[in-house]
Amino acid sequence: MSVLSAPHFHDEQAAFDRVERVIWPQGPVCPHCGCTGRISAIKPNPEKRVRYGLKKCGDCKKQFTVRMGTIFEESKLPLHIWLQAMHLMCSSKKGVSSHQLHRTLEITYKSAWFLSHRIREAMRDGELAPFGGGGGIVEIDETFQGRDPDAAPSAMAIRNMNAVLTLVERGGRARSIVMPVDHLNATEITAILTANVAKEARLMTDEAKHYITPGKAFADHQSVTHGRGEYVRRQEPEVHSNTVEGFYSIFKRGMKGVYQHCSKKHLHRYAAEFDFRYSNRSALGIEDQMRAEIALKGVVGRRLTYRRPSAGTATAEVGPEALVAGWGDWRTV
């Protein structure tokens, strides 16, 4: 039987039951007052609009569903459609475009585009544990993606692009940071590594000069010289940066082959999407269904909304075509 034959992908009540089990493993929690005890389910009235999963808190007397306080809040899409989209995005190694979601789920392109960004926000890594604890190996490299509209024009192509710096813990997680190219220097990289890598970690990089000074703050720093054709050190085969290069091979194929274009203001979410799938990959024993469940646990407290026009003006939410002006067009609540 197909994975997509599961009841929560087709039945709305089953979808609510699924989300409640994941988000409320100890039972319902009122998002208004935090009560966990005196909560009762409100039986749907078939003569009126059926509200699946509706509950009432005995303390504050307010009603709520599991959607509140999550990326699902105020969405008019059925919850089982959200779960289908999450599964598709979690199981597609190089991602799935909004147009593909629009066709597969039979929803508008605007809804598919907004939905996919909300799901990427749920995938964003909130873990603060440093990489390389216990003397583990952390590989570091950078790549360049898309044009940076804020960069000063330059004859050197990469100077006009966005830089993506990625840390990959060998046999573990990945974490990517999007930055302007002119921030790709020893000072900025030192600050990033100090915040994300344990002091006892062993660093592996290529020969780029901006890694030399930051590397001195850690237990060990080894590099390979790609410019001379060295990709693995012959005498020490563990010295290489091929793991992070492998991560980039997936990232670049996804960005160029599936998404094709990404503006600067959204690039960090696309990077988080690839980080999430890599950090929860099959090689670590995490398959598609488990990966989707992990993403589902991240929906709480990460709601994205459209920017509204000037304060005090009662107008409809703007569409995705209006979300291309600047970083302030999206907000997380």
Give the Cα separation of 14 and 30 in Å (integer): 21
Tell me the pLDDT tens digit for each residue of 42-74: 887 777 777 889 999 998 999 999 999 999 998
Domain residue ranges in the chain: 137-262
- Residues 6+ positions from 191 with CB-CB distance below 8 Å: none
User: Percent of the chain having pLDDT more than 70?
Assistant: 92
Looking at residue 237, the DSSP 8-state letter turns out to be T
The 3-state DSSP class for residue 97 equals coil
CATH 3.40.50 fits 137-262, yes or no: no
Express each pLDDT in 222-240 by its tens digit.
999 999 999 999 999 999 9
For the segment 266-281, what is each residue's pLDDT rounded down to a tens digit? 999 999 999 999 999 9
pTM for this model (two decimals) = 0.87
Please classify residue 244 by burial: count the beta carbons closer than 10 Å to its beta carbon, then call 0-12 exposed, 13-18 middle and 19+ buried: buried
Which pLDDT belongs to residue 306?
64
